[in-house]
Structure 1
């Protein structure tokens, strides 16, 4: 269904900070600052004239991108973006504890009360402070609740995709509360690395089960007319269900309460309702309906998404059903935006025929406005036609380099961002689950720059793409773009001053030693 449719040395950090105010009205013009920043960036990528060969200067690139304004993070999961350390802090707020043998959160009040009646040495269920005091258990917990230490030690461990998706089962119970505290942490972290806007996949939209719908969906899935009629009937039933509609209203209210005090003049956050592709068809469909209805009821909810491991058996079996569901609801709620995880698959994850159509169906059947990951592109049967459609209709890809490397083992020249770049398909850089894989958006820009050697104009465009392809009204995009213009002007003035003052940098390096 075609539509009109980004570890530094202390010395250099000090140098940058000391020069931040030197570019005044008598300094280089804005265009001159931009050109000077471009030259400086090119030197960091190639090391030209620095006695470092052709290796990218990774520490300096990290500093550069930490300082550089980044318009948005558009592929962002709330629960996977908080670090495990914060979930440990939340344990006591909810009155929970963690079993030191299974590393699972215990929510049963009777069990917790019984544990607290024991002497500290006899307890197997630990509070936040007890966990932190028990260094062995705490370190083991961090390794199970995130990817911490996965790549830098040789212990026996699960495959990375299993490691990644299992983390949500560990911290899941404690992630379902303290929403405003969690969002405030993500806001502060974003501001610290110069990110001005986030769209986060916040919480699962409510759903109901209907065994009759499930049976008919699997039977009629290949019959487009029959399946459309089934969905039409189910939609009417859900719209007349008072309990279901109360659930949608409560869901919208929960997001509004969590979002209180997050937006201000310098930072904006919006939310995606999401559905879980691992559930039965009736649950997935009703959750989609709830998400679309919620987006229609709240300006805070700007899109609907689908989550869950795409290579899992249920996800693969029902993939086309899900895309048809999205296409149907998109036609009923045409103003609601859709971003879809699609093609988060690599060779060997599933049989080869499973790599042939996921992105294509997300675009042409479901009507996706953005594609999350888009990793199996090179294997898609309609890859060239698909990229043409995405280019012409401005359907961008949310590229998640750290996530794709960790979960699927796809990185470097094997990553389809090389194809998207070559064929003019728009894309953005995003974090996915930065708390699980323990990185930030600046790191995604470092990876992109060091691996693919773009010029400064391209990375600056990527930053602006975050605003351009946000699911926001035009007036809000214009506000964020104007704000980004000012932030880039200040950033480029600082970099131009830094590049023009080698003596000051040398003095700062000498002073730091």
Structure 2
């Protein structure tokens, strides 16, 4: 009888070999699945006991196949320590104090050669920062959420602190993007993750003052005809302008270079591109046009998004206008896929009327196929009907537990993840900005399982959702799902062995 030897190598767990007769494969796989289910159930149930087995659960979630991470911001996922390395490699510096007269800000990276020389007394090299233990600690805390809850001195609000970090390291984050993606790839593979769909770069903007002024005069209550006329004129200009088209082609080439050498047999990378929702309407529209056009040209760019604080003054003012822009461009580029940050809000953060239509607008007006965050669902107008619509349309909600807890204070049962599950709305677990949050995707799964105790079947389906609801094409999804099947077979074999070894003697 032929024997099957299955090599099991998961994350940092040592490889082991499992050997069994080929005729026994179905039974063995079922036994491993049942043993994994039982072990996992014991671990999550222990979280309610006096002796929770959190370390074991954390290890199991590290071993767990992750499928994909499909709500992911590149710049917020490179750890501060890596950015500091790049500051040193490029000969840049970081301000150790602010100079309001010269518009210099503490903790911000300086990349301009003239300014580096002129501000040498207050702008430190990477080596100097590492020698100054106190400032080094301050810097890591400013570029992430590390130590935030332990600080007692005056500090910005959590949401402001979180979004401030991007401004500090923006001077270095655009450098070494291929190197950064290689780092993220290795981190993902260490967590048993096979697919990454990241937001790396915003789409380029091309200005036309006269046409821009027409869009900038619009607002969310403007008539459909006014919007359509202004959008059409600007879109026609961008479609025929040599400079605009050159920018789009150059942008596509940049992303091709960024992705060079990343994909392999065990890992796949794709991009979303995006615009900032707190820019002037004309800049949002011009950037969105470029984003749609770039996605149309390059199969590596699988989707378009809109980012930035949703509670910003401009973002709130122009929300419906932005949704109409997406709807208009979706008609011109119908094959482009849309994920959208929507409902990253809570009661008290904004006036109540802004809580009532953001998720529904993203789905019903813009045509979003996935919703990022979606934590304001319970305050939406006719939320029960919206939940039914999300289920019917199979709109997946990207759950980002760590950032929702820090930015909005939504955690434990205040978070609507179980609401979505009860209404059979598909969810995916994602990392958002793991480096700013100082965690990883495994920890997001740990939070999901330890807090909400989903069954093993629900956990496994959630992992598979990250491929089912990705923006890969059908043949790529089929390939990824087969790979995920194999990874779960290996995981369950290793987990069954782990469960057996963990039993009391």
TM-score, normalization: structure 2? Answer: 0.92
Q: Structure 1 CA distance, aligned partners of 2:225 and 2:323? A: 15
Partner of 1:79: helix, strand, or coil?
coil
Structure 1 residue corresponding to 2:117, chosen from 86, 95, 113: 113
1:66 equivalent to 2:27? Answer no
- Where does 1:394-413 land on structure 2 (aligned, <5 Å)? 394-413=394-413
Hey, what's the Cα distance between the residues in 2 that align with 1:22 and 1:473?
A: 34
Cα deviation, residue 212, structure 1: 4.0
Query: Cα deviations across residues 423-462 of structure 1 (Å, max 9, x unaligned)?
Result: 1100100010011111111111111111111111111111
CA–CA distance in structure 1, aligned partners of residues 94 and 501 of structure 2:
54
The residue number in structure 2 matching 1:81 is 77
| 1:56-105, Cα deviation, whole Å (9 max, x unpaired) | 42111110010011101000000011111111011123221111121221
Judging changes above 3 Å, is the alpha-carbon distance between structure 1 residues 304 and 19 closer, same or farther for their aligned structure 2 residues?
closer
Gaps of 5+ in 1: 1-12, 117-122, 507-513
What is the aligned partner in structure 2 of residue 272 from structure 1?
272
Deviation at 1:253, TM superposition (A): 0.6
Distance in 1 of aligned mates of 2:78 and 2:462: 24
Q: Say whether the 8 Å CA contact 2:141–2:148 is kept in structure 1.
A: yes
**C-alpha deviation, 1:24, in angstroms:** 4.0
1:386 aligns with 2:386: yes
Distance 1:418 1:212, change over 3 A: farther
Q: Which runs of structure 2 are paired with 1:342-491 in the superposition (5 Å)?
A: 342-491=342-491
Please list, as runs of the form range in 1=range in 2, the aligned pairs for 1:200-349 lying within 5 A after superposition. 200-217=198-215, 218-219=217-218, 221=220, 222-349=222-349
Q: TM-score, normalised by structure 1?
A: 0.90
Residue in 1 that maps onto 2:95: 99
Structure 2, unaligned runs of 5 or more: 1-8, 98-105
Cα distance change, pair 115–318 in 1 and its aligned pair in 2 (3 A): closer
1:34-45 matches, cutoff 5 A: 34-45=33-44
SS in structure 2 of the partner of residue 404 of structure 1:
helix
Does 1 or 2 have the higher relative contact order (CA < 8 Å, sep 6+)? 1
Count of aligned positions = 483
Q: Helix, strand or coil: the match of 1:337? A: coil
**Separation in structure 1 between the aligned mates of residue 496 and residue 187 of structure 2, nearest angstrom:** 26
Residues in 2 aligned to 1:317 and 1:283: alpha-carbon distance in whole angstroms = 15
CA distance, structure 1, for counterparts of residue 208 and residue 15 of structure 2: 64
Preserved contact between residue 23 and residue 497 of structure 1 (Cα < 8 Å): no
Whether the 8 Å contact between 2:305 and 2:340 is mirrored in structure 1 is yes
Q: Select between 87-96 and 342-351 the one with higher mean Cα deviation.
A: 87-96
| 1:216 CA displacement | 3.1
**1:182-210 Cα distance to aligned partner (Å, 9 max, x none):** 10110010000111101001101001334
2-structure distance, mates of 1:79, 1:331: 31
CA distance in structure 1 between the aligned counterparts of 2:248 and 2:395, rounded to whole angstroms: 29
Distance 1:156 1:485, change over 3 A: same
User: For residues 33-76 of structure 1, what are the alpha-carbon distances to aligned partners after superposition, in whole Å with 9 as ceiling and x for unaligned?
Assistant: 1111000000001129xxx8366421111100100111010000
- Contact map agreement 1:20 1:497 (CA 8 A) in 2: no
Q: Give me the CA root mean square deviation.
A: 2.0
Instruction: Name the CA distance, whole Å, in 2 between partners of 1:421 and 1:362.
Output: 20
1:154 alignment partner, one of 152, 155, 175: 152
- Matched with 1:119 is none
Residues 139 and 353 of structure 1: CA distance in aligned 2, closer, same or farther (over 3 Å): same
2:443 and 2:112 map into 1 onto residues whose CA distance is 39
Moved more, 381-390 or 486-495: 381-390
Instruction: Report what 2:46 is aligned to.
Output: 47
1:443-495, CA deviations, whole angstroms, 9 ceiling, x for partnerless residues?
Answer: 11111111111111111111111110110111111111111111110110111
**2:31 is matched with which residue?**
32
- CA 1:214 to 1:409, structure 2 compared with 1: closer, same or farther past 3 Å? farther
The SS at the match of 2:76 is: helix
After TM superposition, give the deviation of residue 18 of structure 1 in Å: 6.7
SS in 1 for 2:193: coil
1:332 CA drift (Å): 1.1
CA distance in 1, matches of 2:60, 2:211: 54
Deviation of 1:106 after TM superposition, in Å, equals 1.6
